[in-house]
A = this chain, B = another copy of it.
Amino acid sequence: MSTARTDSERVELANTALYEAVERGDTVAMGRLWLDDPDTEVSCVHPGWPVLRGRGEVLRSYALIMASTDYIQFFLTDVEVSVAGDTALVTCTENILSGGPAEEEGELGPLVGQLVVATNVFRRVRGQWKVWSHHGSPVLAGREEEDGGDEEDDADGPGS
């Protein structure tokens, strides 16, 4: 096969597919990408939201978000994949550009940039990596000044 990939690469593709489905407003793809196992409940936290649990609640929240967003694009950066057995954990930064409906039909509303970090957990089911959990949260500016001050460089070191 010319498409042989490592587990890590497959997980990253599944992670990318999740964001692409939101960009396209593709509710069918979302249903396919999320884990569907009665023994393993999925969960989701959108930035600033409480926890949503179960496929029904999670998929409906995405449908709501997609319905109220005319344009959304995710530029993923700092993507790190960690695989352990049949579970994988992805952390990444979502650089989001989105726009709501404009006043005039056919026009795009004002674009808004947003910086979100996400922890996405995947389970391998019959060779396919499915989303078990998504947790996104806003990165609030200025916290490094509060917590580290000029020790910021040190805080990035290896430490113990």
Question: Is chain A's binding surface mostly helix, strand, loop or mixed?
Answer: mixed
Min CB distance, A118 to chain B, in Å? Answer: 8
- A17 → B minimal CB distance (Å): 20
Shortest distance between the CB of A129 and any CB in chain B (Å): 13
Determine if A133 is an interface residue (Cβ-Cβ < 8 Å).
Answer: yes
Q: Which residues of B contact A143 (CB under 8 A)?
A: 48-49
Take A48-B139, A117-B51, A148-B64 as given contacts and tell me if A156 and B57 are in contact as well, using a CB distance cutoff of 8 Å: yes
> CB within 8 A of A56: which of B41, B136, B140, B157?
B157
Tell me if A68 is interfacial: C-beta within 8 Å of chain B.
Answer: yes
Looking at chain A, what size class is its interface with the partner chain? Answer: 35 or more
Known contacts A123-B84, A147-B68; is-contact A78 B51 (Cβ 8 Å) = yes
User: Which of A53, A56, A132, A159 has the most chain B CB within a 10 Å cutoff?
Assistant: A159
Could you mark each residue 130-160 of chain A with 1 if its beta carbon is under 8 Å from any beta carbon of chain B, else 0? 0011011111100100011000000111111
A–B Cβ pairs within 8 angstroms, 11 of them:
A40-B82, A43-B91, A45-B91, A47-B137, A49-B143, A55-B159, A60-B159, A61-B155, A64-B155, A119-B121, A138-B138
Known A40-B84, A65-B147, A84-B87; further 17 A-B contacts with Cβ < 8 A = A45-B91, A45-B135, A49-B139, A49-B143, A50-B139, A56-B158, A57-B155, A60-B155, A82-B132, A85-B85, A86-B87, A87-B87, A87-B123, A89-B121, A89-B133, A119-B133, A136-B137
